[in-house]
């Protein structure tokens, strides 16, 4: 912005500079970390999908949140087909009461589920 004398002649300038280098470095670092997290998630998913065991993750209400490829192949169901489903989707009806009881006890105490009873697999 010019500084003018009484006659309108420019006699000086005012300016403001803002150093945004630190902000740019921080943005670049956040992006780098985001990419590393995505890569780690992809690698973990590949690992979980290739192990010959059923892997599932459940929400507190017992509804499935994630299943691995082995589970999907075994049941014929996918992560997408589980959205909005309650537990017991792939469990024989005769086994549901025992599984629901074990799951409720697990939620109440945090204790591991043992003796052949496991969280409802979907």
Predicted local confidence at residue 101, as pLDDT: 83
Higher pLDDT, 89 or 37: 37
Least Cα distance to 21 among 31, 13, 29, 11 occurs for 29
Q: Is residue 44 pLDDT above 70, yes or no?
A: yes
**The pTM is what?**
0.54
Domain boundaries, the chain: 18-109
Question: For residue 91, what pLDDT is reported?
Answer: 76
* pLDDT of the residue at 121: 46
Evaluate whether 80 touches 95 at the Cβ level (below 8 Å): no
pLDDT at 43 over 60: yes
Asked whether the predicted pLDDT for residue 64 surpasses 70, the reply is yes
């Amino acid at each position: 912005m010019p500084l003018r004398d009484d006659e309108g002649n420019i006699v000086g300038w005012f300016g403001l500079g803002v150093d945004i280098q630190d902000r740019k470095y921080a943005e670049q670092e956040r992006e780098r970390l985001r990419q590393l997290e995505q890569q780690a998630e992809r690698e973990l998913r590949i690992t979980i999908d290739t192990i010959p065991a059923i892997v599932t993750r459940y929400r507190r209400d017992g509804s499935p949140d994630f299943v691995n490829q082995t589970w999907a192949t075994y049941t014929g169901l996918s992560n997408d087909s589980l959205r909005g489903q309650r537990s017991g989707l792939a469990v024989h009806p005769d086994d549901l009461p025992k599984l629901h009881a074990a799951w409720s006890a697990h939620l109440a105490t945090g204790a591991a589920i043992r003796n052949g009873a496991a969280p409802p697999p979907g």
